[in-house]
Amino acid sequence: MGSTVYVVGLGVISGIGNNVAEHLSAFEREAAGMGDISLFDTLHQHQLPVAEVKLSNAELIKMTGLPGRSSRTTMLSSVAAKEAWEDAGITDPKAFRTGFISANTVGGMDKSESFFVEFWADNNKGKLRNIFDHECGSMTEIVADQLGIKDFITTISTACSSSANAIFYAARLIKNGIIDIAVAGGADSLTKFTLNGFNTLMITDKELCRPFDQNREGLNLGEGAGYVVLVSEQVLKTLNKQAYCMISGYNNSNDAYHQTASSPEGTGSYLAMKGALEKAGLQPSDIDYINLHGTGTPNNDSSEGIAVRRLFDPNYPAVSSTKSFTGHTLGASGGVEAVFSVLAIKHGLIYPNLRFETRMEELPFEPVKHFQAGQNIKHVMSNSFGFGGNCTSLIFSAV
């Protein structure tokens, strides 16, 4: 109990790559993943850019070995979770208590949407078996079965902080001696429901998003999955590899301000970051890089920026939003960006905030504009702030 929790495996898929190596290449090339919608028919086609994973459902089925009726969320989860598990190199998982803590918000919505198109046209059509795994927990159970994990399985769904909370929870389970190993993170796929919902809120951008820019107009939706494998000190000693880093701090706070907006003062964001620093035993000056939540909406970026100013002024670390590459992957974003944070420590990277031009009037700092390698990165903070004021900050630290 109270032992250090280490990160030993990484897996990710998003609009800029199908694995860790492809993501590193995309960052170096400063190549974003946004484009036209191709996954489904919508009135917003050619109007709202999105960051789709560049694999069809048929290709994902072949890659994962899952049944054809599987939801896209399940398949994305399978790809990233398997990569993370294989990267960890745990040869005898049965020797330890292993958990799968996975997050999503969409579940099998894509399959349900397809079913109802057929059903509304003719109520004798539509296959009910295709929506059997609609609910969010089914995704977790299916992928856990693929990985052979049976000791501890649970699903987190707290809007856009979901997979950050999954990682947070997994770290606590290991620290408290409940499990020894955890595959933690999350996945989400693009659906009509999600696209229409965010567009109704009037927070989508018809151009490529510009997080933390004075002239930002909204977000671009994305899809993907990201997982880390966390282990106890005991397990790490049995592995034939070094840990990438450790998870040193985490905190969840809620300002209870609004169902879909952050407080203008950034209260929840501030408390989450402050609490994570306290948990890690660090000062604001110790943080070398912040992977901002940075959605590109006027409300989010102002609220988060004010919170950063309040906590870090006058000495600001490097900051940027990788959503300028991947779009907002919703429930997957905390897991995807946790992988990026770990890679920043491993390879000394700071990711660029693409398309940034003009500093926000209320902020004395601005995000990094170009890819930087060879940096001395010891502590990275990753922010994930969800609807309902559910704000989570994670801190990863070099070993």
Q: So which residues are the catalytic ones? A: 160, 293, 328
What count of residues does the chain have?
A: 399
Spatial distance between the Cα atoms of 76 and 146, rounded to a whole number of angstroms: 13
Spatial distance between the Cα atoms of 329 and 248, rounded to a whole number of angstroms: 24
Token pair in block for residue 138: 């089914």
Spatial distance between the Cα atoms of 14 and 353, rounded to a whole number of angstroms: 17
